Structure 1
Amino acid sequence: MYDFHTHFIPSDVLAWLKDNQRTVNAKWIKKEEGKDDFLVVNEKWGFELKRAFIDENKYLAEQEMAGVTHSVISPIPQLFMYDFPDEIVTEISSVYNRSLAEWTHSAPERLSALGTVPLTNPVLAAKVLHDAMNLGLKGVIIGPGLEGQMLSDEFFIPFFEEANRMKAIVFIHPLLCEDPRLKRRMMPNLIGVPWETTVCATDLLLSGLIDQFPDVKIVFAHGGGFLPYQIGRLDKGYEQWTLVSSKLKAKPSEYLKRFWYDTVLWNQDSLDFLIKNVGDERVVPGSDYPFDLCVWPPTGKHELAGRSLLE
């Protein structure tokens, strides 16, 4: 069984964070007894730095115990570092990508990995993506855009051109939503995270970008957010408004089948609905391991989708 959606922080990345602690305002905070320190970078989205995030042996042992035969490792969203200058983001991307490549080379039958890129500079991001795939990574994980910039904007074309040329996996993972209405009851994580995916996925679908760059393998985290559930509304808008249909060659529900989605939904009925609408070959098993809201063990086998993405 595959686990397409996992996260890890190699020792070289931790060492980089400690060496650059002041530059990136990294803090290790003890929040409560019995828990590991929380890592907070630049006063952003903190998380518990569990051993599974940083201990290769524990990571591999727990994946094996869950019945996972091949894991895809991604950098953590908290270390995308998009709020720092290009040189900082590029440096940590290089350290992260090289470290993950070295680990996967040590166990290629069990591990694959995605890298990270300085998305704030798409020309530079294209180069880092190219270098990462030459190291043996399968593609990259990126956020759902930047402040004031959607991924369908012309600004990102250099990155998508290279991703298309390299036939890269581009795993789009949300960051916490900044909507002020969600500042309570854990809603930034509960609904803000899938909402960010929903906005990004809907924009990419309606933009026609997948026709422009057909060889990019775009994967949406957390089952595509709320988009699959509302695809009928998009189809109706396609019939009604040229602003919706002008860049598309088919109705939105057909484009829905040209992306990939993970199974991080925690609900079998929701997963069955997704599979019915996009096809089993477009749904990859994932867990979001080892974050608190991970689906553990990952749901379903879905070998066909895993192989089609990685081969």
Structure 2
Amino acid sequence: MYDFHTHFIPQEVLTWLKENKDLVHAEWVKQDAKKGDFLVVNGKWGFELKNTFINKDLFLAEQKHAEIKHSVISPVPQLFMYDFPAEITAEISGVYNDSLAGWSKATPKNISALGTIPLNAPEKAALELKRIMNNGLKGAIIGPGISTQMLSDDFFTPLLEEANALKAILFIHPLLSEDPRLKRRMLPNLIGVPWETTICAADLVLSGLIDKYPNVKILFAHGGGFLPYQLGRLDKGYQQWHQVSAQLTAPPSEYIKRFWYDTVLWNPDSLDLLIKSAGTERIVPGSDFPFDLCAWPPSGEHAMGAASLLD
């Protein structure tokens, strides 16, 4: 079984964070003895540094115990560093990517990896994407955009052109929503995360971007957010409004079959709807391991999706 949605932080990245803690406002907050430190970056991106995030041997042991033959490892979204100047984002990206490339080369049967790129500087992102794929990585994990820039905006053209030429995987993984209405009851994670994916996915579908860049392999985290559940509404809008249909050659429900989706849904009925909507060959197993809300181990083999994404 593959697991296309896992996260890890190499020691080289932790060292960089400690050496540059004042620059990126990194803070290690002590918790009780049963838990690891809580790492907070720039005063808002925080998570528990579990041993499975930072210990390679433990990560591989957990993978074996769950009978997962191969994991595709991604950097953690909290370390995308899009809030900082592009030079800082590019620097930590290089450290992260070289570390993951070295590990995947050392254990190719067990893991492969996606890199992180400076999305806040698309020209730099394009160069880094090319470099890391030449170094053995499969593509990159990216956020759903930056600030007010959506991925369908011309701002990202240099990156998308390079990703298309390389036939790269772009794994779109949201950050926590900063909507002030969600600052309670873990709502930023519970619905803010899939909501950010939904916004990005709907925009990419309606933009017709995949017609322009047909070789980019876009993978949406968490089953595409709420997108599959509202396809009927998108199709109705396509029939009703020129603003919706102007960039498309088919209804939105056809376009979603040209992207990939992981299985991090925790609900078999939701997964069944996703499979019916996007097609079996577009679903890949994923867990989000080792975050708290991981679906571990991932649901099903989904061999057709794995093969089509890695082809």
1:32 positional shift:
2.8
Deviations along 1:44-99, whole A, 9 cap, x unmatched? 22100000000000000101111100100000000000011111111110011111
Q: Secondary structure at the match of 1:46?
A: strand
> Is 2:6 aligned against 1:24?
no
The one-letter code of the counterpart of 1:181 is: R
1:178 positional shift:
1.1
Q: Aligned partners of 1:56, 1:71: CA distance in 2, in Å?
A: 12
Q: Aligned partners of 1:178, 1:35: CA distance in 2, in Å?
A: 26
> Is 2:157 aligned against 1:189?
no
Deviations along 1:153-205, whole A, 9 cap, x unmatched? 00001000000000000000001111111111000000000000000000000
Map 1:281-300; keep pairs closer than 5 Å.
281-300=281-300
Deviations along 1:193-240, whole A, 9 cap, x unmatched? 000000000000000100000000000000000001000100000000
Q: Secondary structure at the match of 2:45?
A: coil
The one-letter code of the counterpart of 1:308 is: S
> Is 2:19 aligned against 1:37?
no
The one-letter code of the counterpart of 2:301 is: K
> Is 2:88 aligned against 1:91?
no
Tell me the C-alpha RMSD between the 2 structures: 0.7
Map 1:247-262; keep pairs closer than 5 Å.
247-262=247-262
Q: Secondary structure at the match of 1:298?
A: coil
Map 1:46-85; keep pairs closer than 5 Å.
46-85=46-85
1:20 positional shift:
0.9
Corresponding residue of 1:198: 198
Q: Secondary structure at the match of 2:250?
A: coil
Q: Aligned partners of 1:109, 1:232: CA distance in 2, in Å?
A: 42
Q: Aligned partners of 2:279, 2:251: CA distance in 1, in Å?
A: 16
The one-letter code of the counterpart of 2:80 is: F
Deviates more, 1:194-203 or 1:13-22: 13-22
The one-letter code of the counterpart of 2:294 is: C
Corresponding residue of 2:148: 148
Q: Secondary structure at the match of 2:115?
A: coil
Q: Aligned partners of 1:308, 1:68: CA distance in 2, in Å?
A: 19
Q: Aligned partners of 2:233, 2:277: CA distance in 1, in Å?
A: 14
5+ residue gaps in structure 2? none
Identity across aligned pairs (percent)? 68
The one-letter code of the counterpart of 1:115 is: G
Q: Aligned partners of 2:52, 2:5: CA distance in 1, in Å?
A: 14
1:150 positional shift:
0.5
The one-letter code of the counterpart of 1:41 is: V
Deviations along 1:285-307, whole A, 9 cap, x unmatched? 00000000000111111012112
Map 1:75-224; keep pairs closer than 5 Å.
75-224=75-224
> Is 2:260 aligned against 1:265?
no
Q: Secondary structure at the match of 1:250?
A: coil
Q: Secondary structure at the match of 1:4?
A: strand
How many residues end up aligned between the 2 structures?
311
Deviates more, 1:272-281 or 1:71-80: 272-281
TM-score by length of 1: 0.99
Q: Aligned partners of 2:192, 2:24: CA distance in 1, in Å?
A: 25
Corresponding residue of 2:5: 5
Q: Secondary structure at the match of 1:17?
A: helix
Q: Aligned partners of 1:86, 1:66: CA distance in 2, in Å?
A: 38
Q: Aligned partners of 1:13, 1:41: CA distance in 2, in Å?
A: 13
Q: Aligned partners of 1:164, 1:68: CA distance in 2, in Å?
A: 30
Q: Secondary structure at the match of 2:118?
A: coil
1:309 positional shift:
1.4
Q: Secondary structure at the match of 2:33?
A: coil
The one-letter code of the counterpart of 1:189 is: N
Q: Aligned partners of 1:31, 1:181: CA distance in 2, in Å?
A: 27
5+ residue gaps in structure 1? none
The one-letter code of the counterpart of 1:240 is: Q
1:31 positional shift:
2.8
Q: Aligned partners of 1:108, 1:248: CA distance in 2, in Å?
A: 40
Q: Aligned partners of 2:197, 2:134: CA distance in 1, in Å?
A: 28
